[in-house]
């Protein structure tokens, strides 16, 4: 397994000429959700590159950049076990410090996380654009847990004609329904129990889904209202592509999205709403 911080070493790295390269961008602290992306990439690609980079550009002032979980030795072990071919771990000094260029996507990033975390998505899309340019993968894999991020990246790739296929992968959950996230490490046992309200609310929306966005939204909010120790940022039913809030009846598909603070930890989750 190649492990490098060097942009020149990873640029155009193709150990299996003629076979597709898959990229799995991560911020490390890898869990089964990340590994499901790696496994999907391994199944479809001749070689797989994973990047591990805690991207300072996507953290706002007062957010958890300094305390974000970091475990590079553990991550490398997990990646070796999963059969990754190369790990790119760029340095802040050479990758994101002193940039004068930003890649930002309008529209799909305006609401939800974009409204709650100003500048967050520009930080994500700037770094993902750089990773795509440096590694030059044929396919790049992202989890649906960060659903708005996935929509922004898809839009960026389309608008900038970046020659890569973006693959969105389903959310991986613990047995009790909690969506896996590196930030779950911050939760105490009591907070973890409270955090289950997010997935319960999504399940209520999915269970009530007949195409009526107002009804599904009300179901979600009813579950969250009961939640002790949770401060809800948003709980909404949105269009899967534009991320705009939906209202009224007659929708065949939509996405239920939720963000809440449990103690000091901000969690997000979502699920597809589909008739039939
Ligand atoms: O989803 C993440 O872990 C990050 O936002 C990403 C895509 C690796 C960009 O830093």
Taking the C-alpha atoms of residue 89 and residue 54, their distance in angstroms, rounded to an integer, is 9
The mean pLDDT of the chain is 96
pLDDT reported for residue 36: 98
Q: Is 113 in the pocket of ligand 1 (CB under 6 A)?
A: no
Residue whose CB lies within 8 A of the most ligand 1 atoms, among 121, 127, 183, for a mutation test: 127
Per-residue pLDDT band at 158 (split at 50, 70, 90): very high
Three-state secondary structure readout of 226-259: CCCCEEEEEEEEECCCCCCECCCCCCCEEEEEEE
Q: Which of ligand 1's atoms lies nearest the C-alpha of 146?
A: 1
Q: Other CB atoms closer than 10 Å to residue 246's CB: what's the count?
A: 22
Q: CA-CA distance, 186 to 171, in Å (whole number)? A: 19
Which pLDDT score is estimated for 228? 78
Q: Point out the ligand 1 atom lying closest to the alpha carbon of residue 51.
A: 8
**Whole-number pLDDT of residue 5:** 98
Residue 225's pLDDT is 83
**DSSP-assigned beta bridge partners for residue 254:** 273
Give the model's confidence band at 6: pLDDT under 50 very low, under 70 low, under 90 confident, else very high. very high
How confident is the model over 39-80, as pLDDT tens digits? 999 999 999 999 999 999 999 999 999 999 999 999 999 999
Tell me if residue 202 falls in helix, strand or coil: helix
- Give residue 25 CA to ligand 1 midpoint distance, Å: 6
Q: Is the pLDDT of residue 226 over 80?
A: no
Q: Tokens 């809440």 belong to which residue?
A: 260
Give CA–CA dist 225/147, Å, rounded.
Answer: 23
pTM score above 0.85 = yes
Of the pLDDT bands very low, low, confident and very high (cuts 50, 70, 90), residue 141 is very high
34 is an active site residue? yes
Q: Are 256 and 237 in contact (CB under 8 A)?
A: yes
Over residues 123-135, the mean pLDDT reads 98
pLDDT at position 12, please?
A: 83
Q: Tell me the pLDDT band of 275, cut-offs 50, 70 and 90.
A: confident
Spatial distance between the Cα atoms of 85 and 23, rounded to a whole number of angstroms: 10
User: In the chain, what is the greatest distance between 2 CA atoms, to the nearest angstrom?
Assistant: 56
Minimum mean pLDDT range among 51-60, 186-195, 221-230:
221-230
Task: State pLDDT tens for residues 85-125.
Answer: 999 999 999 999 999 999 999 999 999 999 999 999 999 99
pLDDT of residue 265: 95
pLDDT of residue 144: 98
User: Which stretches within the chain are classed as H helix?
Assistant: 7-10, 32-44, 72-82, 92-95, 112-116, 120-135, 147-159, 189-207, 213-225
- As a whole number of Å, the CA-based R_g of the chain is 19
Tell me, using a 6 A CB cutoff, whether residue 128 lines ligand 1. yes
Cα(131) to ligand 1 centroid in Å equals: 11
Beta-bridge partner residues of 236: 257
């Amino acid at each position: 397994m190649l492990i490098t911080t060097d942009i020149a070493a990873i640029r155009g790295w193709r150990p299996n000429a003629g076979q597709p390269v898959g990229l799995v961008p991560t911020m490390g602290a890898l869990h089964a959700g990340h590994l499901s992306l790696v496994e999907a990439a391994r199944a479809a690609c001749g070689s797989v590159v994973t990047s591990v980079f805690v991207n300072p550009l996507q953290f706002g002032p007062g957010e958890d950049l300094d305390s974000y979980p970091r475990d590079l030795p553990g991550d490398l072990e997990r990646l070796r076990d999963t059969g990754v071919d190369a790990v790119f771990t760029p340095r802040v000094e050479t990758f994101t410090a002193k940039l004068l260029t930003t890649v930002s996507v309008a529209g799909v990033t305006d609401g939800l996380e974009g409204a709650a975390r100003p500048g967050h998505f520009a930080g994500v899309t700037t770094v993902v654009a750089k990773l795509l340019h440096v590694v030059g993968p044929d396919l790049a894999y992202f989890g649906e847990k960060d659903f708005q991020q996935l929509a922004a990246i898809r839009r960026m790739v389309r608008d900038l004609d970046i020659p890569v296929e973006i693959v969105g992968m389903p959310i991986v959950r613990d047995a009790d329904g909690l969506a896996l996230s590196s930030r779950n490490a911050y939760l105490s046992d009591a907070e973890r129990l409270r955090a289950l309200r997010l997935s319960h609310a999504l399940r209520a929306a999915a269970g009530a889904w007949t195409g009526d966005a107002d009804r599904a939204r009300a179901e979600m909010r009813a579950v969250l209202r009961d939640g002790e120790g949770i401060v809800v940022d948003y709980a909404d039913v949105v269009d899967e592509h534009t991320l705009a809030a939906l209202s009224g009846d007659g929708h065949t598909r939509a996405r239920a999205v939720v963000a809440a603070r449990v103690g000091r930890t901000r969690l997000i989750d979502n699920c597809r709403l589909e008739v039939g």
